[in-house]
């Protein structure tokens, strides 16, 4: 049951058997069906989630009701509304299942206790935050330096399996273009090989 999440942690730090047991004792398994919500913008967000199976999307709804996807979270991703989680404020984003999904949730106070108790876990989260930051920086740079075709190509290259798994519409919302534009863009790419 916990093999994937323990493997995920073992990528960066080593836990003893007791630490693993303590860690998993804080997790709560949860299932969300396709189109259901894990976090809704405006509501409080007390959990951080690890995706064990399935796929989620995290998005922001603007004042015109347009959806802007901040990230997809397939297996092995950690996700939360970080703003709401750390500040104990209403979430800014919504997290919704794109498929029937299974997550492990860790409640904020348990999380704080955990990182206090086990320095290795604190290190683990520091490391994955560093990596997340790099990927966000990369995304910002891409949004400024590339046109939509370049952003799409990078997406396909970086996440080939997601490109298969997701609808073109979802990818468009992630890239920051309309589905119509993405459709046209792909037609254009084929012509030029």
Residue 176 corresponds to which tokens in the numbers above?
């920051």
Examine residue 97 and tell whether it contacts DNA (CB under 7 A): no
Q: Which of residues 14, 145, 147, 193 is near DNA by CB under 7 A?
A: 147
Beta strands in the chain (DSSP E): 28-32, 37-39, 47-53, 55-61, 67-74, 78-79, 94-97, 101-107
Q: State which of positions 110-169 bind its own copies (CB under 8 A).
A: 115, 119, 122-123, 125-127, 129-134, 136-141, 143-146
- CA distance linking residue 100 with residue 36, whole number of Å: 9
Examine residue 92 and tell whether it contacts DNA (CB under 7 A): no
- CA distance linking residue 155 with residue 178, whole number of Å: 16
The binding site for its own copies (CB under 8 A) comprises 60, 62, 66, 68, 70, 82-83, 86, 92-93, 115, 119, 122-123, 125-127, 129-134, 136-141, 143-146, 176
Q: Which residue ranges make up the site for DNA (CB under 7 A)? A: 66, 147-149, 167-169, 172, 176-187
């Amino acid at each position: 049951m916990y093999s994937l999440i323990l493997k995920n942690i073992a990528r960066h730090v080593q836990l003893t058997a007791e630490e693993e047991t303590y860690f998993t004792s804080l997790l709560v398994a949860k299932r969300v069906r396709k189109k259901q919500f894990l976090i809704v913008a405006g509501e409080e967000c007390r959990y951080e989630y690890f995706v064990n199976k399935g796929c989620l999307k995290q998005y922001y709804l603007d004042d015109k009701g347009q959806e802007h996807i901040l990230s997809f979270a397939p297996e092995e991703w950690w996700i939360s509304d970080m703003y709401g989680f750390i500040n104990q404020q209403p979430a800014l984003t919504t997290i919704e299942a794109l498929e029937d999904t299974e997550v492990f949730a860790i409640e904020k106070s348990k999380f704080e206790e955990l990182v206090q108790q086990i320095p290795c876990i604190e290190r683990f989260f520091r490391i994955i935050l560093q990596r997340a930051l790099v990927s966000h920086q990369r995304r910002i740079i891409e949004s400024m330096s590339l046109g939509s075709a370049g952003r799409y190509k990078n997406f396909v290259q970086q996440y080939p399996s997601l490109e298969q798994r997701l609808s073109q519409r979802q990818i468009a919302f992630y890239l920051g273009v309309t589905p119509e534009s993405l459709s046209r863009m792909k037609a254009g790419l084929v012509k030029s090989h």
